[in-house]
Amino acid sequence: MRFANTVMQLKKMKSGLMLLAALGASASVSADYTQHPLAAEFVNEMVQKHGFTADEINQWLSKAEKRQPILDAIARPAEKSKTWKEYRPIFIVPMRITNGVNFWNENREALARAEKQYGVPAEIIVAIIGVETNYGKNTGSWYVIDALTTLAFDYPPRAPFFRSELVNYFILTREQKHNPLEFKGSYAGAMGYGQFMPSSYRNFAVDFSGDGFTDIWNNPTDAIGSIANYFKQHGWQEGKTVVTPAKLKQAREQVLANTSFNKVEPPALTVNDWKKIGVVPAAKISARTPVIAIEFDGANGLEYWLGLQNFYTITRYNRSPMYAMAVYDLSQDIKAAMKKSVTKK
């Protein structure tokens, strides 16, 4: 009887171990992106259109891991959950201004050369790097292949965009002769000082240091030139105003009814058009200037601004108007602090 019980227990243990093994195998399969329903089509695209071998792509996909925290983070971006009075203090703080001055001093030559070559002010370039990565101190800790694969295969709302970025990522690592399993970046797959997505790297990054490798990860000179080139290619107008304050001359409800109000889109309506709608500039600006009209919920109540082409260009880096405003405000504070430091000397 004892023997029979022992046999029965052994059978149960064996059955349990087999179930655990099966579950483990299942977990392993689900974590292996070569087994994803969309993988075969992707591999075929990389082979047929871009000249990779199936073995290469499958090897990299098998190493990529689905990261739930990435899916959680992209579903709740900071810009959507915060007002301007909450968002601004994240970036406009004394330490970030001080670090901006230090970064400017450490990279004077590259910033001056970028400003001269591309027409983008040094303070704007510095502010972008300050907002994006705190001057290279926080460039992201996610493996780029995990981030892009997770979003390309398991985030339907923007899967086509991230699939395209994954394609570009594999191509850029081939072009630069780097292992795609090694690079780290943001949860969205952005990389380096200026947080370039793979397609932006391939289209706009430049070897500004002239050493033969476009290194936005460790070389601030290349990052500076790349950001300046990105802005130039996205319509930055040298010497032009970025944004100007405005006020309402009509009831807010009437202004809000205009479909172009609070929309980040290429400036189409002119200052004169907005005056007729009820948004007027608080500073002198040509009536024929195309602008976008923005409302912010600021620390002292509602604020109104007119963003010119250069404001729109900043939103090509990040489509949030609060982001663009934070970059501009930080740039002005850094510029003022830089002048003050020079005066003291």
Q: Is 132 a catalytic site residue?
A: yes
Query: Sheet harboring 279-281: ordered strands across?
Result: 279-281, 243-248, 301-307, 292-298
| Active-site option among 115, 132, 165, 295 | 132
| Distance of alpha carbon 251 from the chain centroid | 36
Residues classed as catalytic = 132
